């Protein structure tokens, strides 16, 4: 069987496993890979080089498992290249009445390949079951011929990347332990599809970093009152709408890098917190945003959040004041509008107020409350924790609390001046030259993978101060959401993303271009591993 046929068969079999994020089937590809590798002589002899990892999946009733695989070079060495890939996929609701066939490559390709191109269709074909197959193929070949490389290869196959990266976060302790036992990780290679990291473009691409993401969040406590006495209250709904209208898409809050800029803040959810119907002015509301980061730290984003909240609350007060004056002139009668100026707190600040107000037992009571929250979306659980802290603070509204909700993905770029980073850039550019010289194909070089990916956690270079700003302002840290910070900081690896070619990740028309992905990329990945071994000291 040719390599192309083998890779195509592996990809089709992986796609046929409906490993939708947070479903009961999510970890099945890991089982499939594990059972496949267990039959190989190398892993029969070295069973401990297949590490099955139980990964906590916060807020979910489902279990998640990941697989870490190691193959050592024939000549003993500590020098190691890390491969990573995720085997979960997004859901298939966009397929409509063909959803039942979304994981059947033959049926989807027959249905959608109307121009008879050298492509296959189906959920996960490009994002990223092909990338997993490519890495698995390297593992299998290296296990059979350990002279193939003069470095060790470790591969981490994980789930939950399409959600909150619980899989990658969960294997960090395993990689950390390997490092503590002597593994010298040189570089990490991910095989996400290029189009997913540079939307709207297709064809070969190499990424030398990955974009960051943080979730700025706001909780507004207003003043409740009957709607007939509107001006004795303060509407949290109005204040939150002001926050959203000011922050959404605001170019001043974007984070460009080297002439390239991703979209500014985008509100992912907002609403009033209440049970049932009531003719009461809403006194609790929230909003949270997607925020891409290329240079900004959590502390930088928090400074922006305080500016946004302060401005929006002042605008809300100004609107209410003007409204009250105009309605008085029209004959409205009511209590004087003398609501105090709204305050702005960080979660760290309001927590300290709550600790002093509640007294002894605050931390224990809050921890118990968070632990008893029902399973579900971690954003909803985090908001519930903030609401509880606000109650325990006894602070009078109106005020806003600025905090973060999960997930958090650190930004990473290889253009840092660090020796290994620059040597990794050199290796990647050598792979570009190899592609051009051998195949006549020009490859794009992109600084940041904009689609967000697990490289954030194995490549992160984050200061302790930045991490403290995050921890102290994320509700339920360690229970609702956590990252093994010591393990993450200990890695800080140079990163490369060198993946297959295709189009339309997450869409019904998701497809993989076979010529480059199966005929050329396998050679290029092996070349990249060897070049990393040569150049990274």
**How sure is the predictor about 55, in pLDDT bands with cuts at 50, 70 and 90?**
confident
The lowest-confidence range among 143-152, 202-211, 390-399, 415-424 is: 202-211
- Taking the C-alpha atoms of residue 382 and residue 379, their distance in angstroms, rounded to an integer, is 5
Superfamily for the 3-211+411-464+488-535 domain: Zn peptidases (3.40.630.10)
pLDDT, average across residues 118-147:
98
Q: Picking from 36-45, 91-100, 332-341, 407-416, which range would have the lowest pLDDT averaged per residue? A: 332-341
What span, in angstroms and rounded, lies between the C-alpha atoms of 482 and 408?
Answer: 10
CA–CA gap between residue 210 and residue 212 (Å, rounded): 7
The C-alpha torsion from 461 through 466 and 468 to 474, rounded to 10°, is: -100
* Interaxial angle between packed helices 3-15 and 130-144, expressed in degrees from 0 to 180 and rounded to the nearest 10: 130
Q: What pLDDT was estimated at residue 400?
A: 98
Element housing 363 (H / E): helix 362-371
pLDDT at 335: 63
Question: Please, which pLDDT band fits residue 197 given cuts at 50, 70 and 90?
Answer: confident
- Residue 240 and residue 218: Cα distance in Å, rounded? 8
CATH class of 212-408: alpha beta
Domain ranges of the chain: 3-211+411-464+488-535, 212-408
pLDDT confidence tier of residue 13, bands split at 50, 70 and 90: very high
Q: How many CB atoms lie within 10 A of CB 50?
A: 17
Mean pLDDT for 90-114 is: 97
Residue range 116-124: mean pLDDT, rounded = 97
Between CA 316 and CA 526 the distance in angstroms is 59
Whether residue 334 is predicted with pLDDT greater than 80 in this model: the reply is no
- Please tell me the predicted confidence (pLDDT) of residue 327: 82
Sheet containing strand 502-503, edge to edge, reads 119-121, 511-513, 502-503
Write the CB contacts of 350 (distance below 8 Å, at least 6 apart in sequence).
Answer: 389, 390, 393, 395, 399, 401
Distance separating alpha carbons of residues 485 and 173, to the nearest angstrom: 10
| Per-residue CA distances from 154 to 45, 91, 157, 434, 513 (Å) | 17, 29, 10, 24, 27
pLDDT recorded at residue 466: 86
What are 414-449's pLDDT values in tens digits?
A: 999 999 999 999 999 999 999 999 999 999 999 999
Listed in order, strand segments (DSSP E) in 99-211 are 119-121, 152-158, 184-190, 205-207, 209-210
Average pLDDT over residues 94-106: 97
Determine what percent of the chain is predicted with pLDDT higher than 90.
88
Domains 3-211+411-464+488-535 and 212-408 share a fold: no
Lowest mean pLDDT among 48-52, 88-92, 318-322, 494-498: 318-322
* Residue 47 pLDDT > 80: yes
């Amino acid at each position: 069987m040719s390599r192309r046929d083998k890779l195509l068969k592996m990809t089709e079999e992986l796609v046929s496993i409906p490993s939708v994020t947070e479903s009961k089937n999510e970890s099945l590809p890991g089982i499939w890979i594990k059972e496949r590798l267990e039959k190989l002589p190398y892993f029969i002899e070295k069973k401990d080089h297949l590490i099955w990892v139980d990964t906590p999946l916060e807020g979910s009733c489902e279990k998640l498992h990941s697989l870490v695989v190691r193959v050592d070079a024939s000549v003993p060495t500590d020098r190691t290249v890390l491969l990573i890939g995720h085997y979960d996929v997004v859901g298939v609701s966009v397929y409509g009445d063909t959803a039942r066939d979304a994981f059947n490559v033959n049926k989807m390709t027959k249905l959608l390949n109307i121009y008879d191109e050298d492509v296959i269709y189906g959920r996960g074909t490009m994002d990223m079951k092909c990338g997993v197959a490519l890495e698995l193929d390297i593992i299998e070949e290296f296990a059979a011929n350990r002279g193939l490389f003069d470095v060790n290869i470790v591969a981490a196959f994980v789930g939950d990347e399409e959600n909150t990266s619980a899989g990658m976060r969960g294997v960090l302790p395993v990689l950390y332990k390997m490092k503590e036992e002597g593994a010298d990780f040189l570089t990490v290679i991910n095989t996400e599809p290029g189009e997913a990291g540079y939307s709207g473009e297709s064809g070969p691409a190499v990424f030398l970093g990955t974009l960051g993401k943080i979730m700025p969040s706001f909780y507004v406590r207003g003043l409740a009152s009957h709607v007939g006495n509107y001006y004795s209250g303060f509407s949290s709904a109005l204040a939150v709408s002001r926050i959203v209208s000011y922050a959404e898409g605001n170019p001043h809050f974007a984070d460009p890098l080297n002439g390239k800029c991703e979209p500014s803040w985008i509100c992912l959810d907002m609403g009033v917190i209440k049970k049932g119907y009531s003719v009461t002015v809403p006194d609790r509301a929230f909003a949270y945003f997607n925020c891409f980061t290329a240079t900004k730290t959590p502390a930088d984003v928090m400074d922006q959040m305080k500016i946004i909240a302060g401005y929006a609350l002042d605008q809300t007060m100004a609107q209410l004041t003007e409204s009250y004056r105009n309605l008085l002139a029209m004959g409205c009668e009511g209590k004087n509008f003398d609501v105090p100026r709204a305050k702005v707190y960080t979660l760290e600040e309001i927590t300290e107020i709550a600790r002093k107000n509640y007294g002894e037992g605050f931390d224990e009571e809050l921890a118990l409350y968070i632990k008893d929250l029902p399973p579900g979306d971690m954003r909803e659980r985090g908001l519930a924790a903030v609401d509880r802290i606000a109650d325990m603070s006894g602070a009078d509204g109106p005020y806003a609390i600025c905090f973060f909700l999960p997930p958090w993905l650190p930004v990473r770029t290889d253009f840092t001046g660090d020796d290994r980073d620059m040597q990794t850039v050199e290796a990647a550019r050598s792979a570009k030259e190899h592609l051009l010289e051998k195949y006549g194909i020009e490859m794009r070089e992109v600084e940041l993978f904009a689609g967000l990916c697990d490289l954030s956690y194995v490549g992160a270079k984050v200061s302790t101060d930045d991490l403290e700003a995050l921890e102290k302002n994320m509700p339920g840290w360690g229970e609702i959401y956590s990252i093994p910070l010591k393990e993450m900081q200990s890695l800080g690896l140079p990163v490369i993303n060198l993946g297959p070619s295709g189009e339309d990740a997450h869409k019904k028309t998701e497809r993989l271009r076979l010529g480059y992905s199966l005929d050329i990329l396998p050679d290029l990945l092996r070349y990249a591993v060897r070049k990393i071994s040569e150049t990274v000291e």
